[in-house]
Amino acid sequence: MSNPEYIFAASSKPSLPWHEVPLIRATDETVKGYGQLVDDPEGFEIEIARWPQQGWRPIDQGPGDEGGWVEGIFPVQDNQRFLDRQGAVHARVSADIGQEFGVYLSCPLDEPKIKDL
């Protein structure tokens, strides 16, 4: 493995002031408002809550408070869209487009984009 090549000399880079950050031991009291310490993840019930609204844009009704995850096989044929239980098109699905293991799509599932894969 070769050493990295630096574009700039360290002396030419701007420096920022140091900021002291205290080290705080995580306890039920110190994490209050941020989360909880969990000793038994299997028996821990997770609260599903809507993400808080920030700024001027309202949160759409419906999304953001269902929580959880779904595991299973969701067959998708060429040029079809996979709809989740709420009827929304998934942004990422595994689509079978004729390859042995399918393709992982991170794009809208419209016909031109599928054909480009």
**Residue-range definition of the domain harbouring residue 19:** 8-38+70-76+90-116
In a domain, 2, yes or no: no
Residues 41 and 22: beta-carbon distance below 8 Å: no
The alpha carbons of the chain give a radius of gyration, in whole angstroms, of: 23
Q: Is the pTM of this model over 0.75?
A: no
In a domain, 25, yes or no: yes
Which residues make Cβ contacts (< 8 Å) with residue 68, sequence separation at least 6?
Answer: 48
In a domain, 107, yes or no: yes
pLDDT of residue 103: 47
pLDDT of residue 77: 57
pLDDT of residue 98: 45
In a domain, 1, yes or no: no
Residues 81 and 88: beta-carbon distance below 8 Å: no
pLDDT by 10s per residue, the chain, length 117: 577 776 767 677 777 788 898 889 999 999 998 888 999 888 888 776 777 778 887 776 665 555 555 556 656 555 555 544 444 444 444 444 444 444 444 444 455 554 544
pLDDT of residue 26: 92
In a domain, 102, yes or no: yes
Task: Report the number of distinct structural domains present in the chain.
Answer: 1
CA atoms within 13 A on the CB side of 45: 2
